[in-house]
Amino acid sequence: MAIITLPYRYLERLAGTDRQTIIDRVPMIGADIERIEEDHVDVEFFPDRPDLYSPEGVARAMRGFLGIEEGLPAYTVRPSGITFSVDPGLAGIRPYLGSAVIRNVNLDEEAIESLMALQEALHWAVGRGRGKVAIGVHDLDAITPPFRYIASPRSRSFVPLDFEREMTMEEMLADHPKGRDYAHLVEKFDRFPLIVDADDRVLSFPPIINGELTRVTSATKNILLDCTGTDQKAVMTAVNIICTALAEAGATIESVTVKGEEMPTLAPAERVVSVAECSSLLGLSLTGEEISRLLRRMRFGAEPDGDSRVRVLVPCYRSDILHDWDVFEDVAIAYGIENFDAVLPETSTVAQEHPIPAIAGAVRSVMIGLGYLEMMPFTLSNERVLYANMQREPAPGTLRVLHPISEEQTVVRTDLLPLLMEMLQANKHRELPQRLFAVGDVVEDCVTSQQAAAVSIHPAADFSEAYAAADVLCRELSLSYTVTESADPAFLDGRRGDIVVDGRIVGVFGEIHPAVLGAFDLEHPVAALALDLTAVPGYPALPGTP
């Protein structure tokens, strides 16, 4: 999530209120206060509201929420007369460009830092790590329009930001820190995106790095903004958010002609919403007038359109408004979530236990009756524990996760017994006897099913104890079963049995093989059992499995 630093002095000036009011009320527009410091507060905003990733954006929202300034913020855009061409050769590489000219900026060190922070937060939230959108700001007075966005040979060289010498773009991917971080976004292309001015001087190698030539400093008065990317809508979201934030700070915005089109317009989108739909979603009986008033506090333009509709103007920076309900959520926030009366609906329904947890509950009561203690081991395990330690072959349908995070958790368990053995190992220093059981999910071939397993460790644990427990469990679960000699290598030959139901082996019990005991570092005999619960009468097929 994006954490935004809000300096009090700047914020107070922009918002027209004191810091305490802001700290108290900002959570109610959807934010978490992270840290309150001497001169600033760090606030985390949700990923759907990148328009709040700057002090200017927060001040704009707070002025409305606190009733200081309501309704749609007006932004005027004059044409700059500057044109920006886009090379058709970028089609498969990075085809979309958004641009604007921002004049009369007043950039002290704090303002530059805030602009860079906004850029980084947008790279993350809108740009998806610069792949979808990358943003560049340039000192307009250092360059000469018109500008060209081109697909350049990879060998083109220029001086990148923070370097003193010229490098080729290929060298930058290997040697510049930003090049190394973002090389994966472009290295597969034959040509690289490049922005140059009328004199063929380089502004930027998007999405990697700008040229040193156009570095923005506290002396910068006029800015050229470029946003390039693979998604037109996202590119324009970034342009609109940056332009309106700087306009809030006092700059003036001018449009640029990109491929014959004037941009940005910073114009709101219109949406006509239903009063009844809003009321029924929120459970309030609101009039069109009330809805409009609430929406204006959230900085929408809103006027009733007859009795049943409201004409809403959505600010250009509100990229989260996809659907009418998104507008209605803002009605709820302006109304105040704390002001809603919580009620329960009157419809009567009947509870219904699912058979799978019901069977697990039956296993629990039987095993507890036998003196066994329940364990709830992880479902992620590894082949050493599941197979090698148990002297067993890997189950053919074992699911391996593609990018495991540790060697301990590489596969989904296909069997519970090895995890109980691991549990005995972890509890070796605890008083004996220990009788442990578990009931839970196992997965094979993508199919989830349930299993019960139990282990008993003490100096006299033997085949008879395992057989007696397996017999009780089967009888209590209404399983009619027979037993045949087992060939499971985890158990001792001559002291192991398979539980057979309708000709299918559904379980195993007996004395654990001493070599397996050794693998789990255990020193006493273990009597054990495992039972596939799909054999239990009434076990349902799971929904959602193919």
Touching other proteins, residues 273-292 (CB under 8 A): 273, 280-284
DSSP 64-115: HHTTSS-SPPP--EEEEEEEEEE-GGGTTT--EEEEEEEES----HHHHHHH
Any known ligand binding at 200? no
DSSP assignment letter at 405: S
The residue among 420 and 519 lying less far from other proteins, judged by its C-beta, is 420
Question: Pattern of binders to other proteins over 209-238, x per CB under 8 A?
Answer: ----------------------xxx-----
Secondary structure class of 351 (helix, strand, coil): coil
- Structure tokens belonging to residue 500: 């057979």
Within 10 angstroms of residue 106's Cβ, the number of other Cβ atoms is 12
Residues 386-405 that bind other proteins (CB under 8 A): 399-403, 405
Residue 532 and residue 506: Cα distance in Å, rounded? 5
* Amino acid present at 53: Y
Any known ligand binding at 502? no
Residues 493-512 that bind other proteins (CB under 8 A): none
507: Cα separation from own chain's centroid: 41
Q: Does 354 bind other proteins (CB under 8 A)?
A: yes
Q: Does 309 bind other proteins (CB under 8 A)?
A: no
Residue 114 and residue 218: Cα distance in Å, rounded? 13
Nearest approach in angstroms of CB 452 to other proteins is 13
Any known ligand binding at 320? yes
- Structure tokens belonging to residue 433: 């006897």
The residue among 105 and 424 lying less far from other proteins, judged by its C-beta, is 424
The residue among 219 and 343 lying less far from other proteins, judged by its C-beta, is 343
50: Cα separation from own chain's centroid: 15
Q: What angle do CA 158, 164, 168 make, to 5 degrees?
A: 30
Nearest approach in angstroms of CB 517 to other proteins is 18
Residues 448-467 that bind other proteins (CB under 8 A): 448
Kindly indicate which of the ranges 5-13, 109-117, 361-369, 500-508 contains the residues binding other proteins, using the contact rule CB under 8 A: 361-369
Any known ligand binding at 330? yes
Residue 62 and residue 80: Cα distance in Å, rounded? 31
Nearest approach in angstroms of CB 48 to other proteins is 5
Q: Does 471 bind other proteins (CB under 8 A)?
A: no
Q: Does 542 bind other proteins (CB under 8 A)?
A: yes
Residue 128 and residue 87: Cα distance in Å, rounded? 24
Kindly indicate which of the ranges 148-156, 288-296, 432-440, 525-533 contains the residues binding other proteins, using the contact rule CB under 8 A: 432-440
Q: Does 541 bind other proteins (CB under 8 A)?
A: no
> Site for other proteins (CB under 8 A): which residue of 13, 184, 259, 323?
323
Q: Does 332 bind other proteins (CB under 8 A)?
A: yes
Residues 129-148 that bind other proteins (CB under 8 A): 132
Residue 135 and residue 83: Cα distance in Å, rounded? 18
Q: Does 436 bind other proteins (CB under 8 A)?
A: yes
Residue 412 and residue 382: Cα distance in Å, rounded? 8
Nearest approach in angstroms of CB 262 to other proteins is 22
CA-to-CA separations, 78 to 81, 249, 399, 435, 521, in angstroms, rounded: 9, 17, 60, 80, 78
531: Cα separation from own chain's centroid: 38
> Site for other proteins (CB under 8 A): which residue of 412, 416, 519, 529?
412
State the SS3 of 123-144: HHHCCCCCCCEEEEEEEHHHCC
Residue 487 and residue 111: Cα distance in Å, rounded? 74
Nearest approach in angstroms of CB 75 to other proteins is 22
Secondary structure class of 75 (helix, strand, coil): coil
Residues 15-54 that bind other proteins (CB under 8 A): 27-30, 46-49
> Terminal CA-to-CA distance of the chain, rounded, Å?
36
> Site for other proteins (CB under 8 A): which residue of 221, 309, 311, 364?
364
Nearest approach in angstroms of CB 271 to other proteins is 7
The residue among 174 and 272 lying less far from other proteins, judged by its C-beta, is 272
Q: Which residues are annotated as a binding site for Mg(2+)?
A: 320, 326, 329-330
Known binding-site residue numbers: 320, 326, 329-330
